Amino acid sequence: MDTVRLGKTNLEVSVAGLGCGGHSRLGQTHGATEAESIAVVQRALDLGINLIDTARAYGTEEIVGKAIKGRRHDVVLSTKALLDTEDSLTASLDKSLKRLGTDYVDVFFLHGVTLDQYQRIGPDCIAELLALRDAGKLRHLAISERFADDAGHAMLPIALADACWDVVMVGFSILNPSARTRVFPITTEQDVAVLVMFAVRKALSSPDELHKVLASVAHREDALDFLVDIVDAAYRFARHEPGTDVVLTGTGNVAHLESNVESINRRPLSGAYLARLETLFRNVDTLTGN
């Protein structure tokens, strides 16, 4: 497993991170048992993944807590809190810590923040997060965008102007590389770490969905057939983009996990393939592949 410095946090993490949300939620969405989902997390650790991303909203924190019991200090653990809920950030984090069976998280995200939310309550959130950091309940401040509704990254550049974030989570994929010009120059300049979400998601993991998307954007259903193994290409594309640090992979399937980890550790796509992708998708800032 290749590792990387996680920006200004200075943590050393695996280039593949385990995402415990997304459509799969460690297989919970498709009826996996708790034991099966725990086995996915433990296999990820055995493969050398040391960054695990969950969230209160995913309903997988307890599973993660059980899976990492006895190995907490080998793991860089992140969780998240939604804004505009009954709970304060403090109350939400306290509940997450209890479910995770730990007394701190390494990275704590404001979850899926819209531009409107950030402009309304961002500054208040920062003060509360700093107090939680002082209290030792979180180590690093982080924010994720609501990519499904903000595929052109309106929120993150505004948030990054406050220069208080250690880590961001960004939607980035073959189908929508717009973070390359709108987000990564800022994060690189500030040494803010980037976790990639939506590298594969739905369209890139399902041929029927992909064909629909390609018919609408590239006017040719077979526009990506040259890649042969689309999932492999999609993870390698995200991994080797300058400005990305960790690529999240979300699955309830151990065989998928193993092959995704291999892909994320493979060499970059060829220059010829990257040039073809650039021609097809360089101006796309509305697709999410969700």
Ligand X SMILES: NC(=O)c1ccc[n+]([C@@H]2O[C@H](COP(=O)([O-])OP(=O)(O)OC[C@H]3O[C@@H](n4cnc5c(N)ncnc54)[C@H](OP(=O)(O)O)[C@@H]3O)[C@@H](O)[C@H]2O)c1
Q: Which residue numbers are catalytic?
A: 58
For ligand X, the closer CB: 24 or 178:
24
For ligand X, the closer CB: 179 or 200:
200
Give min distance, CB of 148 to ligand X, in A: 7
Give min distance, CB of 97 to ligand X, in A: 18
Tokens, residue 71: 């190995």
For ligand X, the closer CB: 103 or 229:
229
| 212 and 175 Cβ atoms separated by less than 8 Å | no
- Cα end-to-end span (Å), the chain: 28
Cα–Cα dist 98/237, whole Å: 37
Cα–Cα dist 34/82, whole Å: 24
Contact residues for ligand X (CB under 6 A)?
A: 19-24, 27, 53, 111-112, 144, 146, 169, 197-201, 205, 231, 248-253, 256, 259-260
For ligand X, the closer CB: 2 or 149:
149
For ligand X, the closer CB: 43 or 146:
146
Give min distance, CB of 250 to ligand X, in A: 3
Give min distance, CB of 176 to ligand X, in A: 12
Give min distance, CB of 219 to ligand X, in A: 25
Tokens, residue 149: 């509704």
